[in-house]
Amino acid sequence: MHFDLDIDQGGVMKLRRIQDLDMRGKDVLLRLDLNVPMKGDEITDETRINAALPTIEYVAKNSRRFAICSHLGRPKGQPDPKYSLEPVGSRLAEILDKEVVFFTDYATEPTKPVLDQMTESQFMLLENLRFHPGEKLNDVDFSRRLAAGFDCYVDDAFGTVHRSHASVVGVTKGFEPDRCVAGFLIQKETEVMEKLISAPKAPFTVVMGGAKVSDKIAVILKLLDVCNNLLIGGAMAYTFLKFNGASVGSSRVEDDCFDLVESIYSQAEKRNVRITLPCDHTAASEFSETSPAVEVNEKDIPPGLMGLDIGPKTIEDFSRVIKASGTVFWNGPMGVFEWPEFSLGSCGIAKAMAESSAETIVGGGDSVAAVNQVGLAANMSHISTGGGASLEFLEGKALPGLRVLAF
């Protein structure tokens, strides 16, 4: 697959790296992805925090002072207490055993006077970047204010590298190119994803779920060039099943995507890729957490029922393929995994991957949440923090947040 960014002899994208940056006596702006799930003021999943710790600790050890910036949720360009990073700052302070200096006025007040007063036992955290419209607009003035007062910029927010936002792209204009580098997480993510499409160990199985075929068509077509098996679950499976003439009851279907499904089958046939669809289902009469689960022990779903998860025979079929694979990439849940009655499919995929000897990669988003839900994250070869960024990277797109860090 061709990448717009240069590839070195080892097959890894040539990014400027944090370990090659001399940070002694320097003040560092560190862009992280701390967009963690919250319930009130409680963090419900610390995956992204833990993934960023190697870079945070490296910067803390090697720089003079540092400030962390991130977004959280979708606050629509203005302050919203529900999306404040303050609880995240408190948790980071506990983990790092440092005091957090929480700075909210960085868009209007200079950062340097606050930085100059900080001690080695402190770090700065900027309030949610998306409280300011200039962030998503990649505004020049907002970018300049973010960079002011710092000597170096380290980006380790892989989950945002597909966005042309101020803290990802515009801010780099405030530094010399060799002062803008990738942290350890971005390096690892790009290495894993690049290997997935250039040198996967066969048989290579792709497990694809989620709601829409239209959201995944580009990455599916790319992966069909290198994979041997494509297992399809989630709501998108009902579009495939209906295309093949099966009855799907009142399940969610993208009737306008049959041409996309046809292109997937055509490509799979050319590449000798085996596509496997659900042969049974866990269904319900309506889309509700309290709706009783109904087992449908065949491919066809009766009228009045909608498929909300793959069934036990499908879990068994998918698991058999996964356990015989050399590489497995999973993106998208098999059902409405947030509801216990419809979580068995996603949990089954996670267990099969954990028990497999394959290289197992979980491609961000809800798939990661499903793996964490069953406590099997440590059994996976790689858990991506990327979601949309992971998929766009696999599609072969030149991601703006990586372009500004590349040689």
pTM attached to this predicted model: 0.90
Please give the single-letter amino acid code of residue 191: E
Query: Quick one: DSSP state of residue 201?
Result: P
Q: How confident is the model at residue 374 (pLDDT cuts 50, 70, 90)?
A: confident
Our measurement of the distance from residue 99's CA atom to the centroid of its chain's CA atoms, rounded to an integer in Å, reads: 29
Q: How confident is the model at residue 13 (pLDDT cuts 50, 70, 90)?
A: low
DSSP 372-402: HHTT-GGGSSEE-S-THHHHHHHHT---HHH
Whether the per-residue pLDDT at 4 is higher than 70: the answer is no
Residues with a catalytic annotation lie at: 48, 212, 365, 388
Q: 327-331 and 359-362 as β-strands: parallel, antiparallel, unpaired? A: parallel
Q: How confident is the model at residue 5 (pLDDT cuts 50, 70, 90)?
A: very low
Average pLDDT over residues 87-97: 97
Do 18-188 and 200-395 show the same overall fold? yes
- Cis peptide leading into residue 312 (ω within 30°): no
Report the distance separating Cα 47 and Cα 359, nearest Å.
20
Give the sign of the dihedral formed by CA 191, CA 193, CA 194, CA 198: positive
Structure tokens at 355: 């028990």
CATH 1.10.287.3510 correct for 200-395: no
Structure tokens at 180: 């803008």
Neighbours of 218 (CB within 10 A): 16
At the top level of CATH, the class of 18-188 is alpha beta
Q: How confident is the model at residue 50 (pLDDT cuts 50, 70, 90)?
A: very high
Q: Where exactly are the structural domains of the chain?
A: 18-188, 200-395
